[in-house]
Chains A and B, each alone.
Chain A
């Protein structure tokens, strides 16, 4: 409950800040130069991603995986409980498993709405704890010990899925770059737009993964199938947001021939920033409503999506575009001679 309140406050304050900014800059465009300060924005990105990578590294060393993984990914135990009389309910059973350190159990009644048989899926526990669970369950209602069963269950999301997700991301990177080369063919160096959009996408994936890993360390958040869904949503949103911004640059280049590239780019950001903010706000409104009035089961999912949407818009403006400018000006190591790398 407490976490829920904190999350609601974070999302609400962010929305308010966006709203205030949107109203303040309503009629002014080009307030200050966003591209000139690109080094600062790169540093901010590094400052967010690096700790995330460190936490993931630390987590990998100590637990063998960059995140705390839920039973969706690592499998666990399935318990078959039969009570000999009424009195057990979901909350009481959950309490028993929680007391032994397993708070993410899936509890189902088996055999109809009045049955006294329950099925519980949870993580692997050692024998002592299982014995204690049996004792505690017996306190709720008399437990039929003869029929008590514990068996292992495999993950619902297999290893193949994680591998498939990585491959999919790699293929997405290549295909999106290819798509951008085609879509932006009428402006010079279209290839760079593709590379920058993909870089922003990877940036967003890393931010989301870092935040998840950190939350796992701090609050014990586990990665489940929903997290995979959230990351995939972020991938789609990130690329979509970057393309909208690049589209503006694509349109402005022929309109403002002779202007320096940074000026055109800066103008494009300011021209499309209100759309970014308004879209974010609408998504946040719904998130706040769900956090405030909805069930607690999906607060982690909502928070990860919130971070993803935020970084998705941030990276379009403060990563993809400044990167484009830095490349243009030959500031990127190993890519210092823009003229020779031109593809058109």
Chain B
């Protein structure tokens, strides 16, 4: 018993130290991302930063080969309302009569899905006027980086499939040289390599950047009956390269890969220079969608960046500072209340609550969760309700003590009896979070997903701190004051 509690205490202390370190503001840790040298670092991790720390991330690189053994990403991310960010105005790059407002909305939804991911990024995406999409990315100052983020969202590749059976890879995720160039090998771990080449990545021949236009058409392509196919045009500057590539590989398959997934692997019928067709037993809907994707990289309407500008915060720094200050006062009141109402257990709960706050703040930076004023307020109120588990346990302990049980027995019973209600009530809320998360996947509803993720994480942390951390602290506190607590039950809040 004592042994187990000592182990837990060690785990808790280590976790808390780690969390407090992660949660500390960057300036305290001597990180200076505003140093000019850090711009170099942002482009190349090998840049010589001469002792200037550019990132909060915890990186351990034992043999200095820039292949770190440990790399924990730590980023503080504040929302548009608090720090402003970058506003990017995307303009439809197509004639006004070639799309409807519904298409534009769909495009905006796609963009939103990409910039928001799990819904934790708090980016704003709105349709502006009749031909523009307004994107605001919180906390981003680097224009190029942001534009890249939006533009690299869909990657179309023509991949060399020489000597392979193309249909075998249909719908599979494959690893290509272009993807490797754009992201890390870890992110592509589930992609398969070329079996004919020792599972090394497939060779990307061209990307979607070479396409001028693509459209779905219905005609006979040489067979006895008409079928749906996609006709595409190559930009003049790439025509010669494309001709050379296809000319050398007539009769071989060439894969068309969108965001890593093989969408079709047609056989090259002849040398192609300015234009070509893709056949593949498409239905009308399939052909239309594929043509759209080829044109725009999975966006229903091709977009170009009209402007990218820095925008300021919508709330003054003052209102943030005041809210945080208010929160601190509120938390102090909660700590005092727990201490006066529950005495010795209250002290254990207070310590556990501090651990809860540290763990939660660390999680915010590790995921990272973008903090808006609303998110901060929600977190502050969750601190108030986080003691619920403790209260359930302590009320039970009081009952047992009033019933005449001995201190140690009462503690044991209190935790055991409160556990079922803590378990069932939290399980139900976590289930609710799961449902909300799924529904938040609806385009434009990322706010719901973000809320569900943050709430669920808070609950899981709370289960840990309210039960295990409190029990461990209470165990050692009652060891210290065993005689006093046994003789004077008021110390236990009775």
Contact = CB atoms under 8 A, between A and B. Distances in A.
Please say whether chains A and B are actual partners in one complex.
Answer: yes
Given A236-B432, A271-B399, A295-B315, A153 B134 contact: yes
B326 A110 contact: no
Contact of B384 (A106, A160, A271, A285): A285
Nearest to B447: A225
Nearest to B313: A108
A229 B374 contact: yes
A297 B373 contact: yes
Contacts of A225: 374, 447
A293 B443 CA distance: 37
B376 to A, nearest CB: 9
Given A164-B440, A235-B432, A286-B384, A112 B445 contact: no
A281 B384 CA distance: 8
Interface stretch (A41-49, A210-218, A237-245): A237-245
A75 B377 CA distance: 25
B442 A160 contact: yes
Nearest to A158: B444
Given A113-B312, A161-B447, A251-B420, A279 B425 contact: no
Interface in A141-170: 151-158, 160-161, 163-165, 167-168
Contacts of B378: 229, 233
Contact of A286 (B109, B325, B381, B391): B381
Contacts of A78: 128, 134
A334 B420 CA distance: 34
A290 B330 contact: yes
Contact of B424 (A151, A152, A183, A293): A183
B224 to A, nearest CB: 45
A156 B124 contact: yes
B380 interface: yes
A51 interface: no
A21 interface: no
A272 B422 CA distance: 13
Interface string B372-396: 0110011011011101100110010
B447 A229 contact: yes
B337 interface: yes
Interface residues on B, range: 35 or more
Contact of A232 (B316, B374, B387, B448): B448
Interface in A164-179: 164-165, 167-168, 171-172, 175-176, 179
A247 B319 CA distance: 42
Given A108-B314, A164-B440, A282-B384, A153 B127 contact: yes
Given A154-B105, A176-B428, A294 B326 contact: yes
A298 interface: yes
A107 B387 CA distance: 38
B443 to A, nearest CB: 6
A54 interface: no
A279 B391 CA distance: 7
Contacts of A283: 381, 384-385
Interface string B451-470: 11001000000000000000
B327 to A, nearest CB: 7
Interface string B390-423: 0110010001000000000000000001001100
A170 B443 CA distance: 19
B453 to A, nearest CB: 12
A80 to B, nearest CB: 10
A63 to B, nearest CB: 23
B127 A154 contact: yes
Contacts of B424: 183, 243, 247
A290 B333 CA distance: 12
Contact of B425 (A243, A284, A297): A243
A33 to B, nearest CB: 21
Contact of A302 (B84, B377, B395): B377
B428 A154 contact: no
A155 B341 CA distance: 47
Give the one of B108, B129, B417 with max A CB within 10 A. B129
A228 B448 contact: yes
Interface string B110-143: 0000000000000011111100101000000000
A137 interface: no
B329 interface: yes
Interface in B296-340: 309-316, 318-320, 322-323, 325-327, 329-331, 333-334, 337-338
A39 B421 CA distance: 28
A343 B310 CA distance: 62
Interface in A232-277: 232-233, 235-237, 239-241, 243-244, 247-248, 250-251, 271-272, 274-275
A285 B435 contact: no
A287 B383 CA distance: 11
Contacts of A240: 388, 425-426, 428-429
Contacts of B455: 232-233, 236
Given A236-B432, A248-B421, 9 more contacts: A156-B126, A158-B105, A165-B448, A175-B431, A236-B433, A244-B392, A274-B395, A285-B334, A296-B319
14 contacts: A109-B84, A109-B311, A110-B309, A119-B87, A151-B129, A156-B444, A165-B445, A172-B432, A179-B431, A232-B448, A278-B391, A282-B385, A285-B330, A290-B330
Interface of B: 84, 87, 105, 108-109, 124-129, 132, 134, 309-316, 318-320, 322-323, 325-327, 329-331, 333-334, 337-338, 341, 373-374, 377-378, 380-381, 383-385, 387-388, 391-392, 395, 399, 417, 420-421, 424-429, 431-433, 435-436, 438-440, 442-445, 447-448, 451-452, 455
Question: Which 9 pairs from chain A and chain B are nearest by CB?
Answer: A289-B330, A295-B319, A286-B330, A158-B444, A247-B421, A293-B326, A109-B312, A294-B326, A283-B384
